[in-house]
Amino acid sequence: MATLDINTFFRTLNQKLEPPLQSHLKNVYSCVALSTLAAGLGGFVHLFTGILTGGFLSSLVGLGFMIALMSTPDDGKNTKTRLGYLLTFAFLSGLGLGPLLEVVIAIEPAVIPTAFLSTCLIFVCFSFASMLSNQRQYIFLGGSLMSLLSVMLVMSFLNIFMGSYLIFKAQLYIGLAVMCAFILYDTQMIMEKRRNGDKDYIWHSVCLFLDLIQVFRYLLVILTDKESNKKKK
């Protein structure tokens, strides 16, 4: 029965995605996987070596590499250069997670693998859900998601003065839900761009990598907050 279900799943996937799009998505998700490994290396460097540490400067440099990637159009000959920009940006993103990882380890180290595995599961499930859904179904989420991000930004600013734990918790769960929805949205946007002739899989992978790392960040904070509350009790 399980084998039959898997065969049916892949048959449906092949029907939904034409071969050029399948090839493009393989390249996109390969880049996401490489970026995730680079980010993991960045977190490792911060935690276990004194070579580099995450902070404002590393985030600023990482932003510079993302701008460099965005400013370097794909001409078919500069793939290695652009991939280098992507992996450096991913490495610095992981380095920037270092201070948060230090806090998590001080409270409960087991939260990190739990959050990572949960992030991978969420990412895979939402990606496949987007691929198998009706075309353009989730593209219309874009305006609503940007509005929610604006509301969250205002909430964050207000909570600096209010210091409300309830608002903090609401931000975490709303933020996690928004980033999960962005996986749906960005996956379909990538598919639509490829169908319209955009073959830049390296830049397309940036959106999904940012979604993945933000989901991981939210899960880290949510799970660590729960562990902290348990210890207080």
Cβ atoms of 194 and 20 closer than 8 Å? yes
For the chain, which ranges sit under pLDDT 50?
Answer: 1-2, 4
- What is the reported pLDDT for 9? 58
Domain membership of residue 232 (yes or no) is no
On whether residue 85 sits in a domain, the answer given is yes
- Per-residue confidence (pLDDT) for residue 14, from 0 to 100: 67
Contact, 170 vs 120, CB < 8 A? no
Q: What is the reported pLDDT for 73?
A: 87
For residue range 25-76, list pLDDT tens digits in order.
999 999 999 999 999 999 999 999 878 888 888 889 999 999 999 999 888 7
Question: Distance between CA 167 and CA 229 in Å, rounded?
Answer: 16
Q: Which residues contact 101 (CB under 8 A, 6 or more apart)?
A: 43, 46, 47, 112, 220
User: Side chain identity at 59, as an amino acid letter?
Assistant: S
Residue 233 lies in a domain: no
Q: What's the rounded Cα separation, in Å, for the pair 197 and 206?
A: 18
Domain extent, residue 70, equals 2-227
> pTM for this one?
0.91
pLDDT given for residue 11 in this prediction: 67
Number of independent structural domains in the chain: 1
Q: What are phi and psi of 110, to 5 degrees?
A: -65, -15
